[in-house]
Structure 1
Amino acid sequence: MSDGKNVLLVSFDDCIAFMNYRSAFGAVLQTPNLDRIMACSSVFRSAYCQVPLCGPSRASFMTGRMPHQLGVLSNADDVFERIDPREIWTYRLKEGGYFCSSGGKVHHGYKPLKRRIHNVLYSDAQKRFTDDMSLPPGVERKRYHGIRGGWGTTDEKDDALYYDAQSSSSAIEFLTGYDGAAPFYRELGFFSPHGPRFTPARFKEMYDLDAFQPPESWAGGFDETDYTRETMPFTPWLETGDMTEWRYNVRNYFAALSHGDHHLGLVWDALQETGHARNTIVVILSDHGFLLGARQRFYKTTLWEQSVGTPLVIHDPEAPVGRVIDQPVGLIDVGPTVLDLLGLPPMEDSVGRSLRSLIAGGTRPERPVASYRFGNATIRSGPYRIIRYEDGSTQLFDLRTDPWTLKDLGRDHPAHAGLLAELQGEAAAHGLSFPIDA
């Protein structure tokens, strides 16, 4: 067994900041394994991606750089066509003597990285898992409705078909079999709760459909700009007020997250049983959040709170204390934090900052946390979120009273001018510039 600290990086896909949704929709989100991990870990309740889209976000948090600094702005952009793989922060671990092992979707895509890239970053072989985009013909299933049918497989022998079952089994095999002298870095990438949200049927049946209710604040409506109305389409069944369809889809989303949680629990248990737990840092995150019906949208890619908000949980075996941290942070801080916890040199070209002092129960100066999408930019600063759209229009929200970002406080609000200038300054520091007023 290694003498240095190991690292297990766990990535969910399209996952909300689950710790903030426990009973947001009436039905209680069931994640017992995440709950027990959070009980002995640092939980960042205000963590944000730097772009609410899979490929660019993963490129950002794996390099510690902003997506526009990388030139990775869409899922069609391949980060490794723009940078050398040695610029990924995990390469610092391999360079420092770590045994590095892949396992599921951490970089963009469900297939392994190209062999020439993989061999630079990892010490073991590529691994291939079957994604959940469709179920094989003949598999026993039940329709639970919602997007793409919300299918649930009814025979437990088919549980192994799922990507998460394959990725967790691979991780368990690694953890139980690894006995190298070098410390290890292991990735565990889950498919859940990404669509189509097919799961074993028992995860759907964990939830009473009728228990799902939209938050009362949604009934008061929400403010739009011409830009948001034209470029961020409403989800048709939400626009017509079809809450039955909403219940189907939120239930399926919760079921998919519970499915991923189940497999994470198996890996966590294996980690404890092998003895690696005493010196393994565990980082749990997602690439971005998801609008589960807020503002009549059911998708990602916007700069509203639930879309850019992500889970971030860091377990340090030297301080296995449950700690909730409300200070805003970014996924871009993950690489600098891990390197700091391991005592490895920092990333000179990263705009992220180490969260080590917060994990230890100390303090760190607050800073605005920026996110971008095409020509749109936002910061979370203190209790506020301000968004500037590419047409020059803005939205300002006070998250203390409006966590769903429904009511625009407007340009006349006393905080607006200062926050807009702060947003402009943050963007300029990241290599972007725009006038404060269009």
Structure 2
Amino acid sequence: MVSQAPKKNVVLISFDDAVAFWKYKTVFGEALQTPNLDRICAQSTAFQAAYCQAPICSPSRASFMSGLAPHQSGVTGPYKNYFEKIPAEAMWPYQLKKNGFYCSSGGKVMQGYAALDDEVHNALFSDKPKKFRGDWQIPDHISMEFGGLRGGKAARNERDDPRFYDHQSANSIARFLKNYKDDAPFYREVGFFGPHGPWITPRRFKEIYDEKNIRKPKAWRDGFDESAFMELTNTHNIDSSNFQQWRKSVRNYFSALTHTDHHLGRVWDAIKASPHADNTLVIILSDHGLHLGERNRFRKHTLWEQVANVPLIIHDPDQPVAQVVSDPVALLDVGPTVMDYLDLPPLEGGVGRSLRPQVNWERVPDRAVPTFYDNSASVRKGRYRFIRYADGSTQFFDLAKDWWQTRDLGPDHPEYASMKAVHAACCLEYGFDIAASEAAP
């Protein structure tokens, strides 16, 4: 009898509010520093056109951890405890635990920075809940402010590094990898706080960046075609004409992303120094992106490219080579991908697809990938982004020529009608009936 190869372990690493960093390396003049993401990408598959299914934490995380689209699960907007709508047993880690995996939590992945309720945690995980102190708890007397949106707070001394959530999260998985001796394969979560606001970091990460070198892209000079619906429902929260405040704010965000990248490097080194290095699938993602001042917004909650597009990296130790995939994919593809790698049954009711073929250098048919926010929805397909808002208004952009989406191509564009049809069909596939919503009073 031929023995089966052992199943891979899985480590899922989640950033919070991280932009698709490869797009921002030099876009603001001052180079964004992500050395650990860069070295991981040098031996992994980077999905550079990955999209969240919701531009806000809870519905996005509910989606990629269940494999269900927001309108399938009913979690379409902010929801303090979405497990009241979707059971723990609907999450794909439950299937891993049921199939013999040792499942271990570690920070914000499914929901919130606090530990999950005991009933939910015990259904999903094999170990005890973990509690980490938050960056927001750093006292004023050990910190200073660098200015910009939300103050630019920083801890003065390196001895205060252990106060940071991401430091604790990285320490936690390092201990886990050192101490795990069981024969069962494991699933381990690593949830990071960064680069979520208010962008508190150790001082040295603020000082990496010279704010005087930060400048606005030329594409911003002539302004942006706005949406009347968005102007009413997603207000401006920064005046980007206040150049000093804006560039300090960008400095704060970049420093927060670099700080979390630093702790990602610690996690990566711990994985690769462990006995599990050659048998552990590593997936890195973010729940959604963030506007960094364009459209006078330094926030999420929109359906434009800068919030919908997210980092997604898959490291298969059997394929430790650099690869970039530019075809659109969805965050809710993560669950089907894990199930495929582990030879487990597909998730029931989901519309995601395994990304394993693309990691293995296969081309797949072009697809449309949606992002939803309540009853508004956008779709990326090919070079275009089509957005339909809840009031029926639309925006249509050519991302190949206009990545910042400054100019709405409008309904007279020759591709508008076909993209509108693609949008409606894609939304229906993911559980949202555009025709029904338009017919509603």
In structure 1, distance between residues paired with 2:121 and 2:227: 44
SS at match of 1:396: strand
Residues 202-281 of structure 1 aligned to structure 2 (within 5 Å)? 202-238=204-240, 241-281=241-281
Matching residue's letter, 1:219: R
The answer to whether the Cα contact below 8 Å between 1:9 and 1:282 also exists between their aligned partners in 2 is yes
Name the counterpart of 1:186.
188
Higher deviation after alignment, 428-437 or 279-288: 428-437
Matching residue's letter, 1:75: P
Identical aligned pairs, as a percentage? 50
Q: Which of 127, 134, 137 matches 2:130? A: 127
The normalised TM-score by structure 2 is: 0.96
In structure 1, distance between residues paired with 2:46 and 2:12: 15
The answer to whether the Cα contact below 8 Å between 1:70 and 1:79 also exists between their aligned partners in 2 is no
In structure 1, distance between residues paired with 2:77 and 2:234: 16
Which runs of at least 4 in structure 1 moved beyond 3 Å after TM superposition?
435-438
Name the counterpart of 2:379.
379
The normalised TM-score by structure 1 is: 0.96
The answer to whether the Cα contact below 8 Å between 2:59 and 2:79 also exists between their aligned partners in 1 is no
Name the counterpart of 1:348.
348
In structure 2, distance between residues paired with 1:358 and 1:91: 25
Name the counterpart of 1:388.
388
Residues 380-419 of structure 1 aligned to structure 2 (within 5 Å)? 380-419=380-419
Q: Does 1:107 align with 2:114?
A: no
Matching residue's letter, 1:180: D
In structure 1, distance between residues paired with 2:116 and 2:137: 22
Matching residue's letter, 2:420: L
Matching residue's letter, 2:73: L
Residue 137 of structure 1 deviates from its aligned partner by 4.8
Q: Which of 53, 59, 62 matches 1:59? A: 62
Residues 3-402 of structure 1 aligned to structure 2 (within 5 Å)? 3-139=6-142, 141-238=143-240, 241-402=241-402
Residue 40 of structure 1 deviates from its aligned partner by 0.3
Residue 222 of structure 1 deviates from its aligned partner by 1.1
Q: Does 1:429 align with 2:429?
A: yes
**Count of residues in Structure 1 that have an aligned counterpart in Structure 2:** 434
CA RMSD of aligned residues (A): 1.4
Residue 162 of structure 1 deviates from its aligned partner by 0.4
Residue 313 of structure 1 deviates from its aligned partner by 0.3
Residue 366 of structure 1 deviates from its aligned partner by 1.6
Residue 232 of structure 1 deviates from its aligned partner by 2.3
Gaps of 5+ in 2: none
Matching residue's letter, 1:5: K
SS at match of 1:313: strand
Matching residue's letter, 1:28: A
In structure 1, distance between residues paired with 2:102 and 2:191: 18
Residue 236 of structure 1 deviates from its aligned partner by 4.0
Matching residue's letter, 1:220: D
Residue 83 of structure 1 deviates from its aligned partner by 2.5
The answer to whether the Cα contact below 8 Å between 2:238 and 2:293 also exists between their aligned partners in 1 is no
